[in-house]
């Protein structure tokens, strides 16, 4: 599954959290409301994708980004694409066969 990249080192996430009046642990709790299993995203993971320090992470699983974005969207109307970017194409998607004319 592709990993999404947080935009601008997580600033849009932090801005949306501020508009929603949510701390990291509160956002983690809010993700439980949008997760069909009720598990949500852990406070530690929320901290890593919204943080700025050594433990901050620029990428996260699609499901994590979806739950965080949906929880924020319910309070701020911020869509996922304002918070996260899709990864660029992978070189593994390039076909690596020789053209028919080059075969012996």
Q: What is the pLDDT, as a whole number, of residue 40?
A: 94
The enclosing H or E element of 15 equals: helix 11-20
Flag whether pLDDT at 100 surpasses 60: no
- Give the C-alpha separation, 59 to 4, whole Å: 5
pLDDT at 99: 56
- The domain at 3-80 falls in which architecture? Orthogonal Bundle (1.10)
Residue 84's pLDDT band, with cuts at 50, 70 and 90, is confident
Which parts of the chain are beta strand (E)? 3-6, 59-61, 84-85
Half-sphere exposure of 71 (CA within 13 A, CB side): 28
- Which among 59, 42, 47 has a CA at the least distance from the CA of 7? 59
Region 52-73: mean pLDDT is 89
The domain locations on the chain are 3-80
């Amino acid at each position: 599954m592709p990993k999404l990249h947080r935009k601008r080192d997580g600033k849009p996430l932090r801005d949306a959290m501020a508009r929603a009046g949510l701390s990291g642990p509160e956002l983690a709790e809010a993700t439980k409301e949008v997760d069909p299993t009720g598990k949500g995203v852990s406070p530690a993971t929320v901290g890593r994708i919204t943080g700025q320090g050594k433990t901050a992470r620029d990428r996260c699983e699609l499901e994590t980004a979806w739950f965080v974005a949906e929880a924020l969207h319910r309070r701020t109307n911020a869509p996922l694409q304002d918070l996260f970017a899709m990864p660029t194409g992978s070189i593994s998607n390039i076909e690596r066969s020789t053209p028919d004319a080059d075969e012996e």
